[in-house]
Amino acid sequence: MKRDLLTLRDLTVEEIHYLLARARHLKEDWRAGKLEPSLNRKVLGMIFVKPSTRTRVSFEAAMYRLGGQCIFMTEKDSQISRKEPLADMARVLSRYVDAIAVRTFAHDDVEELARFASVPVINGLTDLFHPCQILADLMTIEEKRGSLENLKVAWIGDGNNVAHSWINAAALLGFTLSLACPEGYLPDSAILGRAQSEVPGKILLTQNPRGAAASADVLYTDVWASMGQEEEADARMKVFRGYQINRELLASASPDALVLHCLPAHRGEEITEEVLEGPQSVVFDEAENRLHIQMALLEWLLCGKK
Ligand code: CP
Ligand code: NVA
């Protein structure tokens, strides 16, 4: 039966660890110039309704590096712009391609595509979740720290799609996640409540960034206004002012804390230039790992475990 990745909850803990290990292996093969063309003749269809640099290019590069091909469409290029039902799109595309990666607004839309597609559907970001990003983040943390054991992650900023995927990751893997989010910009209460009930005491919500950052192993942030929220950017700038990862906040974390950001970053807003470019920041390794985890994910969804 085909598998989808719409949220991290589509994976078991064992599958997450498999993907992390496989991505590490593929990264070594890639560095050694020894990647096998395991996706030879496979085709990934991509429907991106929102812009993207990392997600698009890492998926495309992953397919090409493993011997496959991609067909990329924006909303404009496809009949979605003329209201072709997603259920029809899904069934038609399934006749042409081996998997579909989607970036869009409504999470319901990827669910609808997945329901009707007979090939795997991968969520490349919706308003609610960004699961592929967190897989690359976990890979980066494991690589830098050696393990995900006894991990404490602090999320500073908006309770957004990336935060929701971190919440799911904490519920599945059982690490400690402290979210510092301003009133009115908290994570979705159903997503948070479900996760908190699964791992009591592990997922904490505060309005105090210093409290969340205290002794954290990872400080994580994201833009204050996500794609589609451009008109709220000025209002959000005021609300989020105290929720910046800067030298002072970093000083309250563990001395060897890692700083992660999914990128793109707005320097001087959610993170200072000094911290983003500083020695504790691993944002470019994190961005690189999007490629490796995407290779592992595509290989697993299209060909099974190696
Ligand atoms: N982090 C991330 O998803 O970046 P893009 O929007 O460039 O894909
Ligand atoms: N929260 C951001 C993530 C970008 C990768 C957005 O949705 O725009």
Q: Is 202 within a domain?
A: yes
Whole-angstrom distance, CA of residue 188 vs CA of residue 129: 11
> Please, which residues bridge with residue 105 across strands?
none
227 C-beta closer than 6 A to ligand 2: yes
pLDDT at 234: 97
pLDDT single digits (tens) 51-100: 999 999 999 999 999 999 999 999 999 999 999 999 999 999 999 999 99
> Which residues participate in catalysis according to the annotation?
103, 130, 133, 222, 262, 290
Q: Is 197 within a domain?
A: yes
> Please, which residues bridge with residue 221 across strands?
156, 261
Residues 56 and 158 in one domain: no
Contact between 131 and 165 (Cβ < 8 Å): yes
Cα(55) to ligand 1 centroid in Å equals 5
196 C-beta closer than 6 A to ligand 2: no
pLDDT at 259: 99
pLDDT at 256: 97
Contact between 30 and 155 (Cβ < 8 Å): no
pTM of the model: 0.98
Q: Which ligand has the minimum distance to the alpha carbon of residue 263?
A: 1
Per-residue b or e along 151-181, where b marks 16 or more CB atoms closer than 10 Å to that residue's CB = bbbbbbbbbbbbbbbbbbbbbbbbbbbbbbb
pLDDT at 254: 98
Residues 145 and 282 in one domain: yes
CA-nearest residue for atom 4, ligand 1, is 54
| Arithmetic mean of pLDDT, 102-128 | 98
Query: What phi and psi values does residue 69 have, to the nearest 5 degrees?
Result: -135, 160
CA-nearest residue for atom 1, ligand 2, is 226
pLDDT at 135: 99
User: Considering the chain, what percentage of its residues have pLDDT values greater than 90?
Assistant: 100
DSSP state of 146: S
Instruction: Count the neighbouring beta carbons within 10 Å of the beta carbon of residue 24.
Output: 17
**Domain enclosing residue 140, as ranges:** 133-286
Contact between 168 and 9 (Cβ < 8 Å): yes
pLDDT single digits (tens) 137-169: 999 999 999 999 999 999 999 999 999 999 999
pLDDT single digits (tens) 261-302: 999 999 999 999 999 999 999 999 999 999 999 999 999 999
Whole-angstrom distance, CA of residue 163 vs CA of residue 157: 9
Q: Note the residue count of the chain.
A: 306
Query: What phi and psi values does residue 63 have, to the nearest 5 degrees?
Result: -60, -50
| Token pair belonging to 106 | 């409504």
Q: How many domains does the chain have?
A: 2
Q: Is 239 within a domain?
A: yes
pLDDT single digits (tens) 42-63: 999 999 999 999 999 999 999 9
To test the pocket of ligand 1, the residue of 271, 284, 290, 294 to mutate (highest count of ligand atoms within 8 Å of its CB) is 290
Cα(223) to ligand 2 centroid in Å equals 7
Residues 144 and 275 in one domain: yes
Average pLDDT, the chain: 98
Residues 144 and 89 in one domain: no
